[in-house]
Amino acid sequence: MQPARRYRPEIQGLRALACALVVVYHVWLDRISGGVDVFFLLSGFLITGQLVRASLRGRIGYREFWGRMIKRLFPAALVVLLVTAGLSVLLLPQGRWLQTIREVVASALYVENWRLTFDAADYFAQHNEASVVQHFWSLAIQGQFYVVWPLLIGGVALLARRRLRTAVVAALLVIFAASLAYSVWLTAADQPLAYFNSLTRVWEFALGGLLALVIDQVALPRLLRIALGWIGVAGLVACGLVFQVGTQFPGYVALWPTLSAAVVITAGATGTAVGADRLLSSRPLAYLGNLSYSLYLWHWPVLVFYLVARGRVEVGPAGGAVVVGTALVLSAATYHLVEKPVRESRIGVRTRWGAYRFAALAMAPVLVAAVAWQVAGDHLIRSRTITAADADHPGALALTGGFTYQGKPNPPLAPSFLAVGEDFAWIDNCEDSPRGAELSVCTSTTEGPPDKRIVIVGDSHPTQFIAALLPVAEQRNWELIVLSRGGCPFSVDSEIEPDNVECKNWNAAAADEILDLRPDAVITTATRDVRVGVDENTPPGFVAQWWKLDSENIPIVAVRDNPRYDTSPSACVEALGRDAPDCATPRADLYAADAPYHHLDDLPQNVSFVDLSDYYCTPEICPPVLGNVLVYLDNNHVTATYLSTMATIFATAMDSALGWDEPDPPAPA
């Protein structure tokens, strides 16, 4: 049997190895290493042992325990957040400010993992487009663990009274099995959600806790422990190369790094010069272990800021060395000047609640800075907000025949770069349909009974037409009814994900809802995939859905889709200027001379087509700015601001398509 040891230097080396893998894989390999899972296991191993020993002595000192955690975690994290917020104002494009503010606050409050889940963030996007604080998701989960775990162990101790260790082992086995099963299921069903979900990670802490409770009863021959130590280290190093951690974790695949770390801990001290513990206990790795927390905190913002400042998507070998070197210097400074002094101070020792007062004082600058940043941003947004075309911002009207610009020379673009990424259109008055299928019905208000009822149906592209139609609806007393689901065009099929059963069910429910509503007109998209390469098409599923409505003589206005790009044209404008040639795309690269629906033979009589491509593009190019208005909020959605300038154009084109008695739309220039 291995002798029980209060201090295990190889664990500090294991922490250093895990952090080094995170940094190396992020910076040079553009992959995820699985090192974060090792942190979770180590936290479970160390904290569970502490709590059980405290329970066996009589009680868990919750105030003291959480006070120590505050002194350990808060100082470095809040310093990094405060510096990151300041650098974000200087270096990040304004279009990323609002999301960064939200995430800074969420990170300070240890809920960043849920913030990312709520925002459906892509953790695996290009690093230069990633959030500068998204790596705080793992710290958020650890912070939540430090709150819940003492209560769990204390509850088991209260119920068990005797045979505490056995009771805790039983509880952790149940938690391990339930969390791992949930993790496997959710990873298969929705991997991005599973990645950030606290409940899919609990089993990793539980595994560490189980290891802490049984390791002293494990007796292994020295040669086997030597072999196990190196097998565990090799498993950790290889994990990110063997698996696509970014798309397969957590699930059962996360057993690889956690079990590898568990094997290293089980191997323990071999007392030989050839054991892995000799390397892990060495002074360089022990020191790197001391820096590991700060290094993890610093490496990600340094990497993202480097890429943004250099305008790159990869750092390269030399750039990576600069990033890692800078992060190491900042980590050492943070450890010696912030982490260590606070941890060794008398804070929380002289007075009972000193650590908690310290937490409030330390968190205040971050939250105050975030609020001030938000207030300044809101002021900038309001200064660039237009509700309809004005003299300075004619938008789409600048492309109509006979237009003469009468505004100021070179006014600021609208919306502001700060707000452009969130310039979506919506209607707030929504109710879930009794048909289920996650069908929500959103309805605008009218003065008394509506004169006409117009349904907007499909994915986020036709939903943006709200911005163009709402002013007309208010003027003409129309009721707009919006049936919208992101990534789900109005079709009998699931066009974006062929096997998406939820999308197909939603479309079937939306069609039935429209048949019951019997509106005066339905507005949806006529085409999709307007991309470089002239891939625009009208899917058969679109046509089949139109035929369903034709059976009840419900008129459809099918609108030709707007272009999609690889990157955001508005971001290009912010970086290079409104007239930069690289921000515009030749029209011929996106649109064919004739829309694809003109080449279809079997079309129902209830469909009329509206082609707005002349208001997204000139005859030669599709620019990112028209009439001093930013056209795109991202790489494929037209801004609500730009569509609001198209209100008269859109409404009169629709009137013409339906044969309603309204004026003809302005002709394109």
pLDDT, tens only, 349-404: 778 889 999 999 999 999 999 999 999 888 888 777 776 678 999 999 999 988 99
| Domain-embedded: residue 381 | no
32-53 confidence digits (pLDDT tens): 788 899 999 999 999 999 999 9
- In this prediction, residue 1 carries a pLDDT of 44
Same domain membership, residue 109 and residue 76: yes
Same domain membership, residue 411 and residue 334: no
Cβ contact 465:482 at 8 Å = no
**Residue 444 DSSP class:** -
Same domain membership, residue 405 and residue 265: no
Domain boundary among 341, 372, 403: 372
* Neighbouring-strand partners of residue 400: 668
Cβ contact 154:55 at 8 Å = yes
Cis check for the bond before 250: say yes or no (omega within 30 of 0). Answer: yes
- In this prediction, residue 122 carries a pLDDT of 52
| Domain-embedded: residue 667 | no
Task: In whole angstroms, give the CA distance from residue 449 to residue 451.
Answer: 7
- In this prediction, residue 271 carries a pLDDT of 84
- In this prediction, residue 352 carries a pLDDT of 84
**Domain residue limits at 508:** 395-658
Cβ contact 530:597 at 8 Å = no
| Domain-embedded: residue 378 | no
Domain boundary among 372, 404, 425: 372
Same domain membership, residue 498 and residue 618: yes
Task: In whole angstroms, give the CA distance from residue 144 to residue 128.
Answer: 29
**Residue 442 DSSP class:** E
Same domain membership, residue 466 and residue 352: no
- In this prediction, residue 9 carries a pLDDT of 79
Task: In whole angstroms, give the CA distance from residue 402 to residue 483.
Answer: 37
Note the pTM of the prediction, 2 decimals.
0.82
Cβ contact 359:95 at 8 Å = no
Same domain membership, residue 411 and residue 287: no
494-518 confidence digits (pLDDT tens): 888 888 899 999 999 999 999 999 9
DSSP notation for 484-511: E-TT--SSSS-SSSTT-HHHHHHHHHHH
| Domain-embedded: residue 382 | no
Same domain membership, residue 301 and residue 417: no
Same domain membership, residue 208 and residue 101: yes
CA torsion angle for 376, 382, 385, 391 (degrees, to 10)? -110
| Domain-embedded: residue 3 | no
Total of domains in the chain: 2
CB atoms within 10 A of CB 409: 6
- In this prediction, residue 245 carries a pLDDT of 65
Domain boundary among 372, 387, 420: 372
| Domain-embedded: residue 171 | yes
Return the CATH number at 537: 3.40.50
CB atoms within 10 A of CB 75: 24
| Domain-embedded: residue 297 | yes
Which 3 state secondary structure label does DSSP give 525? strand
Same domain membership, residue 403 and residue 318: no
Same domain membership, residue 366 and residue 475: no
Which distant-in-sequence residues (6+ apart) come within 8 Å of 69 by Cβ? 146
| Domain-embedded: residue 666 | no
pLDDT < 50 positions in the chain: 1-3, 124
Same domain membership, residue 603 and residue 654: yes
* Neighbouring-strand partners of residue 528: 537
Same domain membership, residue 600 and residue 505: yes
Question: Which token pair is 250?
Answer: 């957590």
- In this prediction, residue 128 carries a pLDDT of 56
- In this prediction, residue 348 carries a pLDDT of 82
* Neighbouring-strand partners of residue 622: 585
